[in-house]
Structure 1
Amino acid sequence: MVKGMKRKTYSKVVELRSRKIRKKRRILLPLTVLFLCLAVLCILECARDDIYIAKESTVKEIISSEAVIVKNERVINAPAEGKIELMVKAGERVRVNAPLFKVVADVDKKQLLEREMDELKRKLENIKKAGNDLKLQNEAAIEMIEKSIKLQEKKLQEVESTIFSPMAGVISFNVDGYEYLLVPEKVSSLDYEDIENIKATGSEQTFQEIVKTNQAVMKIVDSLTLEVVAKWDGPNLKIGEKYTIRFPEHDLEIKTRLRELSETKKTAVFSVQEVPFELLDKRKSRVEIVVRTHNGIGVPVSALVDDKGQEGVLLFFDGKLIFKPVKVIAKDDKNAIVEGVKLGDRVVVKRGLIWSLLRRI
């Protein structure tokens, strides 16, 4: 009886384990299939990026250089000691004779004169509204008050001075001291060492509210023209030709014309029309001068390989890698214009997954 009970218990345990195993298999099998599918998709996705379809491309030949930016600027100084009352703001465009700021020599006296003028103007307005019965008396009073107002205005002019713009341009409070050195008239005298010694200044727009006589308050920058003086000691450039200059720091490209080239000073002077706002307060910058633009069939630089001194690419054809010699016309950091490859050719990117697997075949 005891033995029978043991056998019965044992058979139930075996049946329970069998069910658990089958249940695990039903769960693991789909997961395994899913994992394999995902792995295949990942491999295919990676492999897709290893194949580049040859197509029309553009490569720009550039010169990387340091450059200084020369603008037509006019520093505006305070004619007297006092408090500045601004009438413009940074970045604002102004015309010739536009009011820029006031210098108040005595703030308390100014406020007193303004209160007295307001009172006189109020009296004048009330008299003018009076009836015709007191016409003669009113005319005499009006004349006297108008004379008093003119006298107050004259006194007010002695207390405060209004400064007007001598030229059209853009307002800037970033006066750095280079305004008298980096001027268009002195561009030709700048040489390679001058450019290296010029320090890059910030673009902070600040001004002092209390100033002394002849202290710089602001400057006006001509927004129509500027010149870029770049260090040059490389490829041939032609005076009068148009060149594109990049400013990577600002992600900016501008059209220029080469105005002057000096082999002794190792400088190139480019003229610019319509100054971008980003360069109004810029003194020195790293630039990229686009010397030539090459168009043709392009491939990634990472696809170029060397086979016994012969430059070429690996074409993926019929599941195999085929070496194809090419002539590199021009290249930059990413792409190369080549001869020897046709549009639509499947080019293998060097060090890609397909190249790593099939180069051993």
Structure 2
Amino acid sequence: MISFAIDGYESLLTPNFIKSATPQDLENITVKNTNRDFNVVDVKKGEPIAKIVKDLDNYMVAVVDQKAAKDLTKDKLVTLRINDIGYSMDAVINYNSDVINGKKVISFKYDTGLDETIGMRRINVDVVLSSYSGLKVPRSCLQDININNQTAKICLLKGNTATFKEVKIVGMNDDAAIIDNPDGESSVALYNTYILNPKNVQEGQIID
């Protein structure tokens, strides 16, 4: 199983290095102009082109500000979204270091996505702690939000008439919400037309 192209870091960046790594060690790593296209390789005697490993576990290590690292606890399952290639994969946090100059070293362990990440040394990644699926709407369109019951009302247009419907909140932040129908009901559906800010709209009002 090819792990990565030879670039001089292969003897340093091993699983055993993770627990001793400092933020400065990782920030000092630079990307070298190494051929990582294994379909186009100029092989020369005595010059290795790749490293062979015996297991399928891979590690991604990041330097994270102390405040942002508080939710990145050991053994937590997360999704790594690799922005460079538009690819996501599941991972588990297997190491969370002590604070070093206001930063922490966080290690993510994963066993999928090897083909997609084989040619990368430094990458841009979002760590997704949780996600929701459903109908996404701006938070401003929801009224009478009940955090305890996870419900709200949305103003739909039926013809030209305003109608308020109760919806279930699946997930929400300051900007947007993921909504669904309450159990046993069919209040909202894809392609419904809704009012963005219905503060001054009344039930049954005709809207041009």
- Length-normalised TM-score, structure 1: 0.39
Deviation at 1:218, TM superposition (A): 2.3
What SS does structure 1 have at the residue aligned with 2:124?
strand
Unmatched 5+ stretches in structure 2:
144-151, 198-204
Tell me the alpha carbon deviations over residues 157-196 of structure 1, each in whole angstroms, 9 at most, x when there is no partner: xxxxxxxxxxxx3286x32111122121111233444444
Contact 2:161 2:207 in 1 (8 A): no
1:50-89 to structure 2, matched below 5 A, reads: none
- Report what 1:316 is aligned to: 157
More helix by percentage? 1
Unmatched 5+ stretches in structure 1:
1-168, 352-357
Deviation at 1:299, TM superposition (A): 3.0
Aligned partner letter, 2:160: G
CA separation of 1:321 and 1:191: change in aligned 2, threshold 3 A: farther
Task: State how far apart, in whole Å, the 2-side matches of 1:305 and 1:252 are.
Answer: 32
Contact 1:304 1:313 in 2 (8 A): no
- Report what 1:276 is aligned to: 114
- Length-normalised TM-score, structure 2: 0.62
| Selected match of 2:88 from 243, 246, 253 | 253
| Selected match of 2:136 from 299, 315, 338 | 299
CA separation of 1:305 and 1:274: change in aligned 2, threshold 3 A: closer
Deviation at 1:328, TM superposition (A): 8.1
Q: Taking CA–CA contacts closer than 8 Å with sequence separation of 6 or more, which of the two structures ends up with the larger relative contact order?
A: 1
Aligned residues: 176
Tell me which structure has the larger Cα radius of gyration.
1
Which range is displaced more, 235-244 or 283-292? Answer: 235-244
Deviation at 1:246, TM superposition (A): 2.2
- Root-mean-square deviation (Å): 4.0
Task: State how far apart, in whole Å, the 1-side matches of 2:206 and 2:8 are.
Answer: 62
- Report what 2:6 is aligned to: 175
Is 1:348 paired with 2:194?
yes
| Selected match of 1:225 from 57, 60, 82 | 57
What SS does structure 2 have at the residue aligned with 1:348?
coil
Tell me the alpha carbon deviations over residues 131-161 of structure 1, each in whole angstroms, 9 at most, x when there is no partner: xxxxxxxxxxxxxxxxxxxxxxxxxxxxxxx
Contact 2:157 2:195 in 1 (8 A): no
Equivalent pairs: percent with the same residue?
A: 20
Task: State how far apart, in whole Å, the 2-side matches of 1:224 and 1:269 are.
Answer: 16
Task: State how far apart, in whole Å, the 2-side matches of 1:298 and 1:255 are.
Answer: 24
What SS does structure 2 have at the residue aligned with 1:315?
strand
